[in-house]
A and B are shown apart, each in its own frame.
Chain A
Amino acid sequence: MTRPELLRVQGITKAYPGVVANSDVTFSVGEGEIHALLGENGAGKSTLVKMIYGLVRPDSGSMTLRGAGYQPSKPAEARRLGVAMVFQHFSLFEALNVAENVALGMENPPPMRELAAKIRAVSEEYGLPLDPSRMVGDLSAGERQRVEIIRCLLQDPELLIMDEPTSVLTPQEVEILFRTLRQLSSEGTAILYISHKLEEIRSLCDEATILRRGKVVATCTPRERTAREMAELMVGQALKTPERRLGAKGEVALGVSDLSVDSPIPFGTSLKGISFTVAKGEVLGIAGVAGNGQDELLLALSGELKSAPDRVRILSQPVGDLGPVERRRAGLVAAPEDRYGHAAAPDMSLVENAFLTAGVRKGLTKNGFVDWAGTRKFAEEIIAAYDVRTPGPDVAARALSGGNLQKFLMGRELMQGASVIVINQPTWGVDAAAAAQIRQSILDRAGEGAAVVVISQDLDELLEVSDSFAVLNEGRLTKPRTTEGLTMDEIGLMMGGAHGMEVAHHVPA
């Protein structure tokens, strides 16, 4: 099928100090085509679309839109020429309502009342129900994305850029999104779809451009390739699936019963009656769309949020009222999701960061003084074992790339010999090879008898590492189930289906 060419990107190069984000990138998108930009984190996808959207200027190269030269100097210009973008990290304002958020993304918004009516009309036309007067802070991730999409659709774009749109959606919400995108495509809107999820791309996209380290390495028709072929093009090497060592499950190492705590985070989700147990050698995977209580659960387990003593037990010892340091002493280590500021102190060196959580368990203090030699040795061990790319252990944590810092932080928690390990988003922003390595070491720890809780939004990851599987939904945890034999449909239902889309709710029998 040949389509008239809409956008052509010719020889685009963009360098930042120390890194070439895009080097001589060339590809084209036809009218009404769904075109995938495929690549790992750091492959340069985001920089590329930011140039198309006018947020970043290319160093060299040219673009044409419908045959005419296209050099947007700012997003407003790109929008005027018919290019719209839905961001990966939503560009929404939590304390403003839906209509205000939409108005901010438009050049000449109509008066609020008309705009609200338009939002209702468009949202119904595309099967994306949305109430214009609701506060965005109260919306689920799926609904927030609808706000972004509708903001774009109100401008009748010819090219819609979507940056990793499905990373925060339940499987059912993904289906709804795809239906909308196909409808748009059939109406002649081209879509530039950025993702690293291969099955999605195979089911949705007409063409794919694969980027690796800022260069185009292949162009293909996704339907004619297997996911594995595309993955290897993307990574540039054969992929290894983590192998699971089957250890016998032991006694319960972490027990949580009827844990309810209020969220300390603005617009956060309170935990409501959470109960589960994890045995020695077991990996419990906790799925759920972001913002359903993941951060709060980690805080409640790590000890940053306290509860009644017997609500949380480590090796049968009640620890609910203990803080993080006492819980580490009792055998629980935790790795939060936010790397810059929560898991690590960004301006302190790796050695200092190693001491911050490992000081207690690794005995890195002597008579109240820090044992710097021992701490440095520990930091160096982590760097070696987890292949952290850094000039040395004295570098500030902030200076490491997200993926490298993540490897360091995972290593720091996993190498403390703890009996209970809690991790939120273990491989977020890490490239595929390193992600596989982190997953492997999680499985290794479990094989050695640690009880592990992995909280993640990546379902494939959870299915790969976990023995049992549960879902956080609006602060409630489903009953954990054995991972084996779970289907995507079942998981989707556990995740509460599509938020706000269900007419009939499941009534507990």
Chain B
Amino acid sequence: MDFGGINPVILIATLMASAVPILMAALGEAVVERAGVLNLGVEGMMIIGALGGFIVAVETGSPVLGFVGGAVAGALLSLIFALLTQVFLANQVATGLALTLFGLGVSSLGGQGYNGIKPPSTTQLLPDALADLPVVGPILFGHDWMVYFSILMTAVLWWVLKSTRIGLIIRAVGESHEAAHALGYKVNRIRLMCIAFGGAMAGMGGAYVSLARVPQWVDGITAGAGWIALAIVVFASWKPWRVLIGAYLFGGITVLQLNLQVAGSAIPVEYLSMAPYLITILVLVIMSAGRKANGAPAALGQNFHASR
């Protein structure tokens, strides 16, 4: 069952895996932005996570510890952002951009000596008997644990933001920090925790690139995935399930265009390479167009200082 040399079952199975880094980073950023903070440093946090995860996995031999290491590395970098914007009230846009540049630089430095090493492999979670089932096997059961974890996180975040008190408080802080403060919520502390969470998610997403997708360490390994994650958050109207759709769309087209390149398509390679970015943004724009209130948190990007 192939179409022009492309097997749809393999395509779907691969896109789910290839979407994991963006999905994780975008979910984290969605929470951060729901709390009213615009952290443009996603790319930087991802690549630091990719490096941190890689180093920990190589040194300990455990891929799971590697992902934990990636999360910690991303969270630590995000705390720099948190310190600057929440304590010293620095401009969030400039700080976020600086964070990305910083992350790229530091990862390039720290990654010296890790080139060409193969990390311990992240293996399939479920037994082969399930994964070998026709059609549903590769799509539903043939993945490593991070794929399931990213889908689980989508569901958990959707539920937390929609129905729990902590989710309500996060949304309230992002909607009006003045009002939240008047009710006695610690605006900057809540935001700080959200930023650290977003950093951990981006770090895990980055670690997935270096430990499972590539898997090795190369300079600039995340290749702009953080920026796509940022765009997906906006066009997904800050809603977790839509973030998942956006990430899968991007992952799908990335995989598809690679397959097309391999299959020797008549379309020039350059166009195929830009297709995932272009189509994802187009589709998300169309999805979010026409609705009057697109649900942006009202206090997004504004620093809060309790003056009186």
Contact = CB atoms under 8 A, between A and B. Distances in A.
B178 A104 contact: no
Contact of B184 (A16, A47, A54, A100): A54
Interface stretch (A32-40, A89-97, A274-282, A301-309): A89-97
Q: Chain A contact residues: over half helix, strand or loop, or mixed?
A: loop
A92 B293 contact: no
Interface residues of B, number: 20
Given A91-B178, A109-B165, A96 B171 contact: yes
Nearest to B297: A95
A55 B186 CA distance: 11
Contact of B172 (A47, A90, A104, A109): A104
A103 B175 contact: no
Interface in A21-76: 47, 50, 54-56, 74-76
A410 B163 CA distance: 48
B184 A93 contact: no
A76 B295 contact: no
Contact of A90 (B168, B179, B184): B179
A92 B183 CA distance: 9
B183 A94 contact: no
Nearest to A100: B168
B306 to A, nearest CB: 9
A55 B175 contact: no
A105 interface: yes
Contacts of A94: 175-176, 298
A89 B172 CA distance: 16
A89 B180 CA distance: 12
A104 B168 contact: yes
A364 to B, nearest CB: 33
Given A93-B176, A94-B298, A105 B308 contact: no
A87 interface: yes
Interface in A84-119: 87, 89-96, 100, 103-105, 109, 112
A105 B168 contact: no
A166 to B, nearest CB: 19
Interface string A308-319: 000000000000
Classify chain A: how many residues form its interface, as a range: 20 to 34
Contacts of A54: 184
Contacts of A368: none
Contacts of A105: 183
A266 interface: yes
Contacts of A56: 308
Given A56-B308, A74-B184, A75-B184, A104 B298 contact: no
Contact of A93 (B163, B179, B293, B308): B179
Contacts of A92: 176, 179
A355 to B, nearest CB: 27
Contacts of B179: 90-93
Contacts of B180: 91, 93, 104
Contact of A104 (B163, B183, B297, B308): B183
Contacts of A90: 179
A79 B295 CA distance: 31
Given A93-B175, A95-B175, A103 B184 contact: no
Given A94-B298, A103-B165, A109-B165, A75 B176 contact: no
21 contacts: A76-B184, A79-B184, A87-B182, A89-B178, A90-B179, A91-B180, A92-B179, A93-B171, A93-B172, A94-B175, A94-B176, A94-B298, A95-B298, A96-B172, A96-B175, A100-B168, A103-B165, A103-B168, A104-B172, A109-B165, A266-B298
Given A75-B182, A95-B171, A95-B298, 8 more contacts: A16-B308, A56-B308, A89-B178, A91-B178, A91-B183, A95-B293, A104-B183, A112-B163
The 7 closest A-B pairs by CB, nearest first: A75-B184, A91-B182, A91-B179, A93-B175, A76-B184, A74-B184, A95-B175
